[in-house]
Structure 1
Amino acid sequence: MDVASLFVQALNGLAAASSLFLVAAGLSLIFGVTRIVNFAHGSFFMLGVYVAYSLVSHAAPVVSSALSVALGDAASQTTAYFVMLLCAALVTGMLGALVEVLLLRRIYKAPELFQLLATFALVLVIQDGTLWLWGAEDLLGPRAPGLSGAVDILGRRFPTYDLFLIAIGPLVLAVLWWCLQRTRFGMLVRAATQDRDMLSALGVNPRHLFTAVFALGCALAGLGGALQLPREPAHLGLDMATIGDAFVVVVVGGMGSIPGAFVAALLIAEIKALCIAVGTVEILGVSFAFSKLTLVAEFLVMAAVLMVRPWGLLGKPQSAPRASTEQETPFALSSVRTQWVWLCIGAALLALPLFTADSPYTLVLGIDLAVAVLFAASLHFIMGPAGMHSFGHAAYFGVGAYGAALLVLRAGVSSEAALLLAPLVSALVAAPIAWFAVRLSGVYLAMLTLAFAQIVWSICFQWDDFTGGSNGITGVWPSAWLQDKAAYYWLTLVLVALSVFALRCVLMSPLGYALRASRDSVGRAEAMGLNVARVQWLGFVLAAGFAGLAGALFAFSKGSISPDVLGVSKSVDGLVMVMLGGVHTLVGPLVGAVTFTALQDSLARSTDYWRAVLGASMLLLVLVFPQGIAGSVQALWQRVRGASA
């Protein structure tokens, strides 16, 4: 590696940092004012690329011909091209304003997790809407007129357009700083970031401010996407690929801090560029491929920053949340009538294989539903009673799946023993992660769990000799007596039922009450003599163990596993299940898991645009059941009983 290569890679990092900053700045603005964790922000980045492609392909030639008389051919083409990029950002901003008015405005008073659920549903709708409008093929836009060449830097050719991108980042930062510091709009934004309730009490209408901020944030994301048009094709995976990096930049820089987002974008982009420049290095006879770290570099940075500075580089410590006046219904033992209902449901599920001999897929779906129930119940254990929101719970599900597979294929143990050992493997992996995670709270805890989960995913994805790398592991089958789907269904049903019952018993035990006390008031819990960090650590590890059992059952039911079982999408599925059913009810994760998995399965087999239908269904459920399906039904039943009494 020579100096010229290192310098060129540093310039590549600066160009990547500009686009990353534009997306992260919009996300930071939206969160700072509205307190919404906008999971759909990456979708607006993707829309910016697609809209820019259409405008550049169809509208730019018309505008260029109209301007050619006054400016000349070359200047008119360049002007028309960049005007279309700006128009793409404006269109994206207007779409964001429409989404805020029609959807988000109706759920501002809902719990933050349900706002996250609504924005995730919006991701599904936008993705299939994009598929319907532009198709599934990648769309490569034309190069920017006037900036399509390259310049010589230290004997290396560097794209002129990347130099333009390097200048865009600081320019947008300066404009945003002036807008936030020198205008009345910026004063209102800063006031809303500090205390939006007090701003409303002073007579400022928060609705208009929220709409303007959301539109501005989406426009910045659209601009970041539009500027990427000459560099990479528009494709349907841009939304999920972008939102992860944007979240990391916002958290590393500090939630709500625009300068922090700029510094974090520079730091992460340059570290990635340095990894590429270093390449493969041999140290003490061992080869280290630093280029592979680009898959997980940003998450390593985030984990390191949050361990040292939990509120980000330029962020401020979060103030204690205001006490909620809404009282949660305490968990209670089931009545005799409810126990009989559960016994009837259990008997019906046990008898299912006897009536589905002609429909083997029914048992496959039944196994999938049972695994989803256990996965959701394990996540609910730390989200509801413990108040720890994890964005990386799929890591322990995946570790359990890989652990069971490797124990059978490499260690030669039986599948029965692997099912018993897989939860222990997941718990051992979660133990050091939980030690760091429980020292944070809120969004920062969620993002730290995401960082560690991505590190685990990267290990499984790249360790070809041990985990099979991107190809995964095949031939993961249970013992001979479990080869029959009915037998495996019964085993899965019994293990899931016992695990869910065990989690329920723990919630009724002193540990469960200690977890709820730690969630409701850390100060009071510590004053009573509880070691909050130890209690939360134990709850985290216990939940990871049950998630590992779900992963092991999944591995033997499918016969193969891939790194996707540890991915962000799997963690999001778990979050959706818990929130869809209801966080503050014991039966909520069960209802959410069955509803989400059944909807996803039925829609995927009936229409090509199943994501849009699933997202629309989830949006409807969020609006109709703001406390989740089970939570809303429980609240309605209590009101009916109270009225009759």
Structure 2
Amino acid sequence: MSFYVVQFLTGLASAASLFLVASGLSIIFGVTRIVNFAHGAFYMLGAYVAFTLTERLSGAVGFWGGIVLAALIVAVVGVVVEMLLLRRIYKSPELFQLLATFGLTLMVEDLVVMIWGPDDLLGRRAPGLKGAIDVFGQALPSYDVFLMVIGPVVLGALWLLFHRTRWGVLVRAATQDRDMVAALGVNQKWLFTSVFAVGVFLAALGGALQLSRDAVNHTMDLRIIVDVFVVVVIGGLGSITGAFVAAVLVSELNAFGILIFPKISIILVFLVMAAVLIVRPWGLFGKPEAPARRTPGLTVRPWQPLTTNERLASLVVLLAAAALPLVGGTYSLTVGAEIIIFIIFAASLHFLMSVGGLASFGHAAYFGLGSYGVAFLAKLAGLPMIACLLLGPLLGLAGAVIFGFFAVQLSGVYFAMLTLAFAQIVWSIAFQWVGVTGGDNGLLGIWPAAWIATPARFYWLSLAIGTCVVVGLRVLVFSPFGYALRATRDSMLRSESIGIDGKRIQWLAFVIAGTVAAIGGALFAYLKGSVFPDSLGISLSVDALVMVLLGGVETISGAVVGAVVFKALNIWLVSQTDQSKLVLGAVIVLLVVAFPKGIVGILETARDRLRSRAPGKPTALSAAPKLGSAE
């Protein structure tokens, strides 16, 4: 019994640090509506800066002074980031915000390695808290007791800040209605900046306080951000009390899950998150929000079928791609096959986002399920390659059917977070079910059949399947189903008034997108000869989002161009520099801020301008009917 008591208290200590980070994210989202993926980076920076201050300047500032000063320094960094970057994307869709802050996270990861090195750093023990206390015969570290006290103290301080100060009243008002606060003459820019500074301070403080508990390393940002998203969603976006309760719940699930349910311990928190979103989408302590306003990032102007010239250009590109084996070597063919596979993956997400208006943050789940479907059939059932390619994607289809049914009941950031939860559930199963999936050792020896094993033949197979997929999705876009899906995206109420079952249409689109992603995953398994849980991970889902954004959400061919440019750039950067994340992150941030329309969108805009200026072409003004005319 004493062991379980200590385990419970240890869970409360972990909850304190988790609450600090989650409360900061909740405050930022509640006011600014920014889905801040970089929050984990600020947590990591807090730990690294605290290490430097407590080790190099301990005589000047002391240990506790170094902890607080580190949080203040990172808060100043957060203010600079908010003023230079986030102010430009406050009105952008959640997708753009997520990608911009993810790009910032990539940059910080490489900068941290450049400054502090790749090795783990061990901080000193907190003065006066180096021992342990006896709890029913079990030793409980004194520092854990300190953290258990810190959590409620910070919660109380935040309550006083938001309920007993004018600034807090304005923040709570902005959480409820930002437009009304602006109408009352409040400077929203500085209000948002101050809120972001407080949120970053809390995240950095949470990281700094971990210095005496865990080693500091350059992967701690992604490790914490997933749990923080879970806490914020369960507690309710914008609710500090909800963040505290959810942090305790998640920490205790992590503490006891490994003891009671060791086989599914990682899955538990995501199961709880999915259940909360399905039953109460706005969280335990959150409040229902008004429907999100339509933003230009996820809308698509009326599409036109390809012109004759565009069809000829597409055919030339396809023939050039088909001729690559005649001039390319093994490496170029392998890279080409991988790019084609990711074209399939990006095209599936692009179809869901651009036509359906549904931004999935966990689309890699279906890509990975397709890979595992092939691996199971090849390794366990011993089926030939053709049968595996035909039947393997059915596992992704099944996942899309089940997860999509629940996901399409939600919208906006709640839809995105539920897709993320489902993806993490699948990843957790693949990671922990070692007897079937191999865990992090993966499933090896999944090689193509002899008749297709050469790089050239596998490349041609990938190109044929990729072409069929892209053409098939384009046909769907201009089919009655595609028009019904776009009508549902533009206005659910209007589409239902003319007899369109919007939720069923969205569910079917989700299933189609998931199945297409699984086809790409099936090919990927044969390309690599192995399958690992990474094929289901968050990073791959974000890669797909970057490809779509890079090409252009508002375009039809954006996914193809985005996948080609992103994968080629990624592969080239990895081979050319050790700071590939820094460069790639900077490219993502620049793209979101300066070129939100993507490569294809920019080219189409330039083409339209040239056409409007061509001699003999009527401009929009000259073509308009004049006052008093017969028209």
TM-score by length of 2: 0.95
- Amino acid in the other structure paired with 1:335: T
Contact conserved, 2:340 with 2:466, CA < 8 A, in 1?
A: yes
Name the residue aligned to 2:208: 226
Q: Report the 3-state secondary structure (helix = DSSP H, G, I; strand = E; otherwise coil) of the residue aligned with 2:211.
A: coil
- Amino acid in the other structure paired with 1:526: E
- Amino acid in the other structure paired with 1:41: H
Name the residue aligned to 2:34: 36
- Amino acid in the other structure paired with 2:321: L
Name the residue aligned to 1:545: 515
Evaluate the alpha carbon distance shift between residue 640 and residue 317 of structure 1 in structure 2; reply closer, same or farther with a 3 A threshold. farther
Name the residue aligned to 2:592: 622
Structure 2 residue aligned with 1:86, among 68, 78, 83?
68
Q: Report the 3-state secondary structure (helix = DSSP H, G, I; strand = E; otherwise coil) of the residue aligned with 1:229.
A: helix
Structure 2 residue aligned with 1:351, among 306, 311, 323?
323
What are the residue-to-residue correspondences of 1:39-438 with 2, within 5 Å? 39-63=37-61, 80-278=62-260, 290-323=261-294, 328-356=300-328, 359-438=329-408
Find out whether 1:602 has 2:584 as its counterpart.
no
Greater alpha carbon shift after TM alignment, 139-148 vs 623-632: 623-632
Task: Tell me how far apart the structure 1 counterparts of residues 489 and 535 of structure 2 sit (CA, whole Å).
Answer: 29
- Amino acid in the other structure paired with 1:391: F
Q: Note the residue ranges of structure 2 that are not aligned, 5 or more in a row.
A: 619-631
Task: Tell me how far apart the structure 2 counterparts of residues 409 and 248 of structure 1 sit (CA, whole Å).
Answer: 35
Q: CA deviation at 1:325?
A: 8.2
Task: Tell me how far apart the structure 1 counterparts of residues 561 and 183 of structure 2 sit (CA, whole Å).
Answer: 39
Contact conserved, 1:6 with 1:277, CA < 8 A, in 2?
A: no
Find out whether 1:16 has 2:14 as its counterpart.
yes
Evaluate the alpha carbon distance shift between residue 407 and residue 336 of structure 1 in structure 2; reply closer, same or farther with a 3 A threshold. same
Task: Tell me how far apart the structure 2 counterparts of residues 581 and 183 of structure 1 sit (CA, whole Å).
Answer: 46
Q: Report the 3-state secondary structure (helix = DSSP H, G, I; strand = E; otherwise coil) of the residue aligned with 2:140.
A: strand
Name the residue aligned to 1:73: none
Task: Tell me how far apart the structure 1 counterparts of residues 308 and 582 of structure 2 sit (CA, whole Å).
Answer: 42
Q: CA deviation at 1:50?
A: 0.6
Task: Tell me how far apart the structure 1 counterparts of residues 319 and 398 of structure 2 sit (CA, whole Å).
Answer: 35
Q: CA deviation at 1:593?
A: 1.1
Q: CA deviation at 1:182?
A: 1.5
Structure 2 residue aligned with 1:471, among 416, 433, 441?
441
- Amino acid in the other structure paired with 2:574: A
Name the residue aligned to 2:544: 574
- Amino acid in the other structure paired with 2:385: S
Task: Tell me how far apart the structure 2 counterparts of residues 323 and 412 of structure 1 sit (CA, whole Å).
Answer: 49
Q: CA deviation at 1:111?
A: 3.1
Q: Report the 3-state secondary structure (helix = DSSP H, G, I; strand = E; otherwise coil) of the residue aligned with 1:293.
A: coil
Greater alpha carbon shift after TM alignment, 194-203 vs 498-507: 194-203
- Amino acid in the other structure paired with 1:338: E
Task: Tell me how far apart the structure 2 counterparts of residues 13 and 315 of structure 1 sit (CA, whole Å).
Answer: 24
Cα distance per residue 1:379-424 (max 9 Å; x no partner): 1111121111211111110110111122122212111121111222
Contact conserved, 1:249 with 1:265, CA < 8 A, in 2?
A: yes
Name the residue aligned to 1:68: none
Q: CA deviation at 1:612?
A: 0.3
Task: Tell me how far apart the structure 1 counterparts of residues 246 and 603 of structure 2 sit (CA, whole Å).
Answer: 44
Q: Report the 3-state secondary structure (helix = DSSP H, G, I; strand = E; otherwise coil) of the residue aligned with 2:457.
A: helix
- Amino acid in the other structure paired with 1:127: E
- Amino acid in the other structure paired with 1:406: F
Task: Tell me how far apart the structure 2 counterparts of residues 449 and 324 of structure 1 sit (CA, whole Å).
Answer: 21
Task: Tell me how far apart the structure 2 counterparts of residues 82 and 319 of structure 1 sit (CA, whole Å).
Answer: 44
Task: Tell me how far apart the structure 2 counterparts of residues 642 and 210 of structure 1 sit (CA, whole Å).
Answer: 41
Q: Report the 3-state secondary structure (helix = DSSP H, G, I; strand = E; otherwise coil) of the residue aligned with 2:134.
A: strand
Q: CA deviation at 1:562?
A: 0.8
Contact conserved, 1:363 with 1:489, CA < 8 A, in 2?
A: yes
Contact conserved, 2:233 with 2:273, CA < 8 A, in 1?
A: yes
Task: Tell me how far apart the structure 2 counterparts of residues 567 and 559 of structure 1 sit (CA, whole Å).
Answer: 18
Greater alpha carbon shift after TM alignment, 31-40 vs 625-634: 625-634
Contact conserved, 1:9 with 1:277, CA < 8 A, in 2?
A: no
Name the residue aligned to 2:451: 481
- Amino acid in the other structure paired with 1:307: I
Contact conserved, 1:51 with 1:88, CA < 8 A, in 2?
A: yes
Contact conserved, 2:108 with 2:582, CA < 8 A, in 1?
A: yes
Tell me how large the CA RMSD over aligned residues is.
1.5
Q: CA deviation at 1:523?
A: 1.4
Task: Tell me how far apart the structure 1 counterparts of residues 97 and 295 of structure 2 sit (CA, whole Å).
Answer: 17
Q: CA deviation at 1:324?
A: 5.2
Structure 1 residue aligned with 2:418, among 448, 465, 468?
448
Q: CA deviation at 1:440?
A: 0.9
Task: Tell me how far apart the structure 1 counterparts of residues 295 and 22 of structure 2 sit (CA, whole Å).
Answer: 30
Greater alpha carbon shift after TM alignment, 144-153 vs 504-513: 504-513
- Amino acid in the other structure paired with 2:268: A
Q: CA deviation at 1:618?
A: 1.9
Contact conserved, 1:110 with 1:626, CA < 8 A, in 2?
A: no
Task: Tell me how far apart the structure 2 counterparts of residues 455 and 45 of structure 1 sit (CA, whole Å).
Answer: 24
Cα distance per residue 1:247-276 (max 9 Å; x no partner): 111111111111111111111111222223
Q: Report the 3-state secondary structure (helix = DSSP H, G, I; strand = E; otherwise coil) of the residue aligned with 2:547.
A: helix
Q: Note the residue ranges of structure 1 that are not aligned, 5 or more in a row.
A: 64-79, 279-289
Cα distance per residue 1:322-363 (max 9 Å; x no partner): 35589741122111110000000001000011011xx32111
Task: Tell me how far apart the structure 2 counterparts of residues 319 and 246 of structure 1 sit (CA, whole Å).
Answer: 24
Task: Tell me how far apart the structure 2 counterparts of residues 617 and 437 of structure 1 sit (CA, whole Å).
Answer: 31
Aligned pair count reads 614
- Amino acid in the other structure paired with 2:47: V
Task: Tell me how far apart the structure 1 counterparts of residues 324 and 547 of structure 2 sit (CA, whole Å).
Answer: 24
Task: Tell me how far apart the structure 2 counterparts of residues 395 and 113 of structure 1 sit (CA, whole Å).
Answer: 18
Q: Report the 3-state secondary structure (helix = DSSP H, G, I; strand = E; otherwise coil) of the residue aligned with 2:489.
A: helix
Contact conserved, 2:132 with 2:141, CA < 8 A, in 1?
A: yes
Q: CA deviation at 1:277?
A: 4.1
Task: Tell me how far apart the structure 2 counterparts of residues 117 and 640 of structure 1 sit (CA, whole Å).
Answer: 31
Evaluate the alpha carbon distance shift between residue 616 and residue 437 of structure 1 in structure 2; reply closer, same or farther with a 3 A threshold. same
Contact conserved, 1:423 with 1:544, CA < 8 A, in 2?
A: no
